[in-house]
Amino acid sequence: MRPLAFLVAAVALYWPANTLPMMVTDQFPVHRSDTILSGVAFLWSEGSWLLAALVFTASFVVPMLKVGALGTLLVTSARRSAWQPRGRTKVYRVLEIVGHWSMLDVFVVALLAAVVQLGRFASVEPGPAVVPFAGVVLLTMLASASFDPRSIWDHLGARSVYGRE
C-alpha cells in the first residue's frame, strides 16, 4: 500500500508541477515566467530544438512514463499477473536508475538562480512549480524504492520462473 500512496501523491502534484511557472527570468526589459511547456515552446521558437527536445523529454515525458510504469507494476503485482515477469523486472530496474537523474531539472533551476544575479539587468528565480515538481520526483523515487520487485515473481512458482517443474 505504501508505493500506491506515494504514487497517488505524485500524481496529485503532477498537475501543479506542469501548470505553475518553473522559472522566472528578468533580462532587462523583458520579464518571463515560464512553465515547463512554455519554456519548451520558447526554446523551440528560438531555434534551440535539441535543448527543447531534451527539456521536454526530461521534464514532461519521463515523469509521465515513470508514473505509468509504476502504476503498471503496482496493478499487475496486486492482481498477481503472470504477464511478462522478466520485462516488468527490467522496467523496475530502469525506474531505479532513472529516479536518481530526475532531480536534474530542479538542480538546473537552482544553479541558474544562484549564478544569474546581475541586479536589475538579469536575474533568474525558481518559480512556484519547483516544489511540486521536486515532490513528483521524490514521491516517484519513494514509490519505486518501497515497491518490492519480488512481488512480481512470488505467486508464479518454480515452474513459471525457471521454465521447468
Task: Give the pLDDT score at 157.
Answer: 58
Task: Give the pLDDT score at 165.
Answer: 39
* Domain spans, the chain: 2-155
Q: Which residues of 133-159 are buried (b: 16+ CB within 10 A; e: fewer)?
A: bbbbbbbbbbbbeebebebbbeeeeee
Q: Can you read off the three cell numbers belonging to residue 103?
A: 532531480
Cβ atoms 14, 59 nearer than 8 A = no
CA distances from 92 to 9, 20, 99, 120, 135 (A): 19, 30, 10, 47, 20
**For the chain, what is the total number of helices (H) and then of strands (E)?**
8, 3
Assign domain 2-155 to its CATH architecture.
Up-down Bundle (1.20)
Q: Which residues of the chain are under the pLDDT cut of 70?
A: 100, 116-120, 155-165
Cβ atoms 154, 38 nearer than 8 A = no
Q: How far is CA 136 from the centre of its chain?
A: 6
Instruction: Report how far residue 146's alpha carbon sits from residue 128's, in angstroms, rounded to the nearest whole number.
Output: 28
Nearest to 101 by CA among 63, 68, 145, 69: 63
**First vs last C-alpha separation in the chain:** 32
Under DSSP, the state recorded for 117 is B
Task: Give the pLDDT score at 126.
Answer: 87
Task: Give the pLDDT score at 19.
Answer: 94
pLDDT tens-digit profile of 15-35? 999 999 988 888 778 888 999
Task: Give the pLDDT score at 45.
Answer: 93
In the block, which residue shows the cell 544553479?
Answer: 111
Task: Give the pLDDT score at 79.
Answer: 74
